[in-house]
């Protein structure tokens, strides 16, 4: 039996400055990579899928199970039941923090107790079979390890979908292979929606969607 989509996007378009995305149609039923040019438009499109983009957009994003609810309730539940791991320039882990400090900060940001955040992080790393020294500074981690930590921090609070951008950026083939092995078991039932430039980082059986960026046509009317 095919599982229902966690969230859907229909003809979703976002605009940043003088550029906008191509219309995105998405039914998130498995891990999905959004392969598109890196930059603010791709990031905005991902944020819109998580209900966190306040800029110009068209189309619709809907979380499963919210059909028939008021628009305000649907928007709130979309934010509550999705999580964002990393958006370059907006949501990033401070490299001078230790892993332990980053876990504590993210836990408090998500409204969790420090104890609950630490427990969740331990469970996530154990599920993935990854051992990390909590005293290591984020900036001292290997690129693949840092990506893993970003994803784990995004999952301290359980979510139906985890959104991240730049997955696989700066990684060599070995780092991508390591992520493909350890990330899926860590995610558990949570579905990943990730912006990528190179889809070779895709977990097994992940779906890849291609999207482009186009200049906004000037019509003489204010957008």
pLDDT, tens digit (0-9, with 9 covering 90-100), for 190-219: 999 999 998 888 888 899 999 988 887 654
Q: How far apart are the first and last CA of the chain?
A: 44
The strand pair at 161-165 and 191-196 is best described as parallel
Longest Cα pair distance anywhere in the chain, in angstroms? 57
**pLDDT (tens digit, 9 = 90+) per residue, 168-195?**
999 999 999 999 999 999 999 999 999 9
| Domains, the chain, with CATH or none | 7-215 (3.40.50.300)
- If one counts every other C-beta atom within 10 angstroms of the C-beta of residue 66, the result is 17
Q: Compute the distance between CA of residue 97 and CA of residue 201 in angstroms, rounded to an integer.
A: 26
pTM: 0.91
């Amino acid at each position: 039996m095919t599982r229902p989509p966690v969230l859907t996007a229909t003809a979703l378009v976002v605009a940043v400055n003088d550029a906008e995305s191509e219309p995105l149609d998405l039914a998130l039923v498995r891990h999905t990579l959004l392969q598109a040019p890196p930059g603010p438009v791709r990031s905005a499109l991902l944020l819109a899928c998580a209900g966190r983009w306040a800029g110009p957009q068209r189309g619709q994003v809907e979380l499963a199970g919210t059909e028939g609810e008021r628009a305000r309730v649907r928007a709130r539940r979309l934010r509550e039941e999705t999580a964002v791991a990393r958006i370059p320039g907006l949501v990033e882990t401070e490299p001078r923090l230790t892993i332990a400090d980053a876990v504590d900060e993210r836990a408090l940001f998500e409204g969790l107790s420090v104890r609950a955040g630490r427990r969740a992080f331990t469970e996530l790393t154990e599920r993935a079979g990854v051992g990390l020294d909590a005293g290591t500074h984020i900036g001292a981690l290997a690129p693949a390890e840092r990506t893993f930590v970003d994803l784990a921090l995004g999952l301290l609070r359980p979510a139906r979908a985890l959104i991240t951008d730049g997955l696989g950026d700066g990684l060599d083939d070995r780092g991508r292979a390591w992520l493909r092995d350890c990330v899926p078991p860590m995610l558990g039932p949570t579905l990943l929606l990730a912006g990528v430039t190179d889809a070779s980082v895709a977990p097994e059986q992940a779906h890849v969607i291609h999207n482009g960026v186009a200049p906004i046509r000037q019509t003489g009317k204010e957008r």
